[in-house]
C-alpha cells in the first residue's frame, strides 16, 4: 500500500488531464473531418456513435498503446536511460540508414517502412531517442560546471550526435522532422546556458548555410516554399492546399459551424486533402471557430508550461534536459502545424501533436510526456 502511495502520489495528474483533453478534442475533430454523416441526419443521441468509424477506432488503439508506453516509462527511473543512450542512438541511426534503401516513398519522403499496410516512420520515433541522447551528452558536459557550455570542445560530442541523424533525415528528404531535431537541440543547449558568443556564431552559420540548403532541396520542396510565399502562383496545384486550408479555417468564423455539420467544407469529398492529419487544425477551426482554435492553443501552452515547470524543478541536469527536449519537440510541432494551416509557414507535413490522425506521432508524443512525468515523479528519491 505504501509503495502504491509513493508511486501514484507523485504522478503529475494535471499534465495528464491536459493531455487527455487534447486527445479527446482531437478524436472528435478527426471523426468529424472524415465522417460522411452529418448531424442533419441524426438526433443528438446518435452523435456519439459517429466515433465508431475506422479512423476513430484506430486512433483509440493508438491512444491505448500510447498510455501503455507512458505507464511503462514511469516504472523506469529515467537516469537508467543514460546507460542505454548509445544503444538507442545507434539503433535509430541504423533504421534511418535502412529506410533510405528499403523504405517506401510517401508524400515525397522516402522515410517509411510499410508493414501489413501500416506505415512506420523511423524519424518519428527517433525524436524521443535524440532527446535522450542529447540530454545525456549535455548533462555529461554541464554536471560539474557552473558556467554552462562555453567551448567548442564541450559542444562537439553533442553536435556530432545530432548531425548524423539530421543529415540522414534531410536525405529522405524530410525537412519537417529534421527541423524538429534541430529545435530540440537548440532548446537543450539554451537550457544548458550555451554562451551568447556561440549562439551568435550558430545564427551566423545558419544564415550563411541558407543558400546551401536551397541548393540541396528537392524540386517539390522548392515549389512548396515558392507557393508558400505566393499560393496564387499555382492555385490549382501546389498552392491548392494552402488556399483551401485558409478558406476552411476562415469559414468557421468566431464560433464555428459545429462538428458533423452539413455546412462543413470538409464534408465535401477531397475539398481539403489530409484534413484529418496535416490540416486537422483548419478542419477543427471550421467546426469550432476562432474560439475553438484559441482554446486548443491555450491547452498546448498549458501543456508546454507544465513540462518546462517539470524541467526546472528536476533534481539533476539530465532530468532537466529531458523535459526541455520534450517541451521543445511539442512546441515546434504546434508552431509549424498551425503556421502551415493558416498560411504563415510552408507546408512540411509536421503533424499536430496528440491531435492529428496517425499512430507514429501519438506514440512519440506520449512517450515524450511519459519521460517528463518520470522526471517529475523522481524529483526526490523514490524506492520502487
Residues with Cβ < 8 Å from 344, sequence gap 6 or more?
Answer: none
Distance CA 322, CA 320 (A): 5
Percent of the chain with pLDDT over 90: 46
- Has residue 2 been placed in a domain? no
Residue 160: what pLDDT?
Answer: 92
Residue 45 has pLDDT above 50, yes or no: no
pLDDT-wise least confident of 185-189, 228-232, 271-275, 347-351: 228-232
Residues 128, 323 contacting (CB under 8 angstroms): no
- Has residue 322 been placed in a domain? yes
- pLDDT interval class at 256 (50, 70, 90): confident
pLDDT-wise least confident of 150-159, 169-178, 219-228: 219-228
Residues 250, 289 contacting (CB under 8 angstroms): no
Q: Please tell me the pTM assigned to this model.
A: 0.90
- Has residue 384 been placed in a domain? no
- Has residue 333 been placed in a domain? yes
- pLDDT interval class at 267 (50, 70, 90): low
Residues 354, 299 contacting (CB under 8 angstroms): no
- Has residue 383 been placed in a domain? no
> Who wins on pLDDT, 229 or 311?
311
Distance CA 281, CA 221 (A): 22
Residue 380 has pLDDT above 70, yes or no: no
- Has residue 308 been placed in a domain? yes
How many independent structural domains does the chain possess? Answer: 1
Distance CA 94, CA 115 (A): 18
Residue 270: what pLDDT?
Answer: 61
pLDDT-wise least confident of 46-55, 166-175, 336-345, 369-378: 46-55
Residue 68 has pLDDT above 80, yes or no: yes
- pLDDT interval class at 44 (50, 70, 90): very low
pLDDT digits (tens, 9 = 90+) for 172-195: 888 889 999 999 999 999 998 887
pLDDT digits (tens, 9 = 90+) for 327-365: 999 999 999 999 999 888 888 889 999 999 988 899 999
The most confident of the ranges 49-53, 184-188, 206-210 is 184-188
- Has residue 167 been placed in a domain? yes
> Who wins on pLDDT, 18 or 229?
18
Q: Supply the angle between the helices 240-251 and 280-311 in degrees, to the nearest 10.
A: 80
pLDDT-wise least confident of 9-13, 202-206, 298-302, 350-354: 202-206
Strand partners, 112: 104
- Has residue 324 been placed in a domain? yes
Range of the domain at 147: 7-377
Residue 309 has pLDDT above 80, yes or no: yes
Residue 223 has pLDDT above 60, yes or no: yes
Distance CA 163, CA 182 (A): 9
Residue 115: what pLDDT?
Answer: 76
Amino acid at each position: 500500500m505504501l509503495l502504491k502511495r509513493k508511486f501514484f502520489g507523485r504522478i503529475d495528474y494535471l499534465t495528464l488531464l491536459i493531455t487527455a483533453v487534447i486527445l479527446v478534442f482531437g478524436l472528435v475533430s478527426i471523426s468529424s473531418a472524415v465522417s460522411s454523416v452529418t448531424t442533419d441526419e441524426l438526433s443528438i443521441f446518435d452523435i456519439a456513435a459517429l466515433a465508431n468509424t475506422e479512423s476513430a477506432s484506430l486512433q483509440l488503439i493508438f491512444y491505448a498503446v500510447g498510455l501503455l508506453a507512458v505507464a511503462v516509462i514511469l516504472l523506469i527511473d529515467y537516469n537508467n536511460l543514460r546507460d542505454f543512450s548509445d544503444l538507442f542512438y545507434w539503433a535509430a541511426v541504423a533504421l534511418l540508414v535502412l529506410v533510405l534503401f528499403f523504405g517506401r516513398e510517401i508524400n515525397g519522403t522516402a522515410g517509411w517502412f510499410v508493414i501489413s499496410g501500416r506505415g512506420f516512420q523511423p524519424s518519428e520515433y527517433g525524436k524521443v531517442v535524440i532527446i535522450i541522447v542529447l540530454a545525456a551528452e549535455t548533462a555529461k558536459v554541464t554536471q560539474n560546471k557552473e558556467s554552462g557550455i562555453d567551448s567548442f570542445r564541450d559542444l562537439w560530442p553533442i553536435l556530432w550526435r545530432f548531425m548524423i541523424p539530421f543529415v540522414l533525415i534531410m536525405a529522405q528528404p524530410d525537412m519537417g522532422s529534421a527541423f524538429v531535431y534541430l529545435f530540440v537541440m537548440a532548446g537543450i543547449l539554451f537550457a544548458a546556458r550555451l554562451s551568447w558568443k556561440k549562439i551568435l556564431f550558430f545564427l551566423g552559420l545558419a544564415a550563411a548555410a541558407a543558400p546551401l540548403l536551397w541548393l540541396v532541396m528537392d524540386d517539390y520542396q522548392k515549389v512548396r516554399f515558392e507557393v508558400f510565399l505566393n499560393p496564387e502562383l499555382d492555385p490549382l496545384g501546389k498552392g491548392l492546399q494552402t488556399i483551401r486550408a485558409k478558406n476552411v479555417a476562415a469559414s468557421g468564423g468566431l464560433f464555428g459551424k459545429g462538428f458533423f455539420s452539413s455546412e462543413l467544407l470538409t464534408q465535401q469529398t477531397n475539398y481539403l486533402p489530409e484534413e484529418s492529419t496535416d490540416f486537422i487544425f483548419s478542419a477543427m477551426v471550421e467546426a469550432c471557430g476562432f474560439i475553438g482554435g484559441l482554446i486548443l492553443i491555450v491547452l498546448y501552452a498549458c501543456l508546454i508550461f507544465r513540462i518546462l515547470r517539470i524541467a526546472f524543478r528536476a533534481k539533476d541536469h539530465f532530468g532537466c534536459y529531458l523535459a526541455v527536449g520534450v517541451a521543445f519537440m511539442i512546441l515546434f510541432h504546434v508552431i509549424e502545424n498551425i503556421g502551415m494551416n493558416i498560411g504563415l509557414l510552408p507546408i512540411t507535413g509536421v503533424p499536430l501533436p496528440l491531435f492529428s490522425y496517425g499512430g507514429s506521432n501519438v506514440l512519440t508524443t506520449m512517450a515524450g510526456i511519459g519521460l517528463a512525468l518520470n522526471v517529475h515523479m523522481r524529483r526526490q528519491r523514490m524506492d520502487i
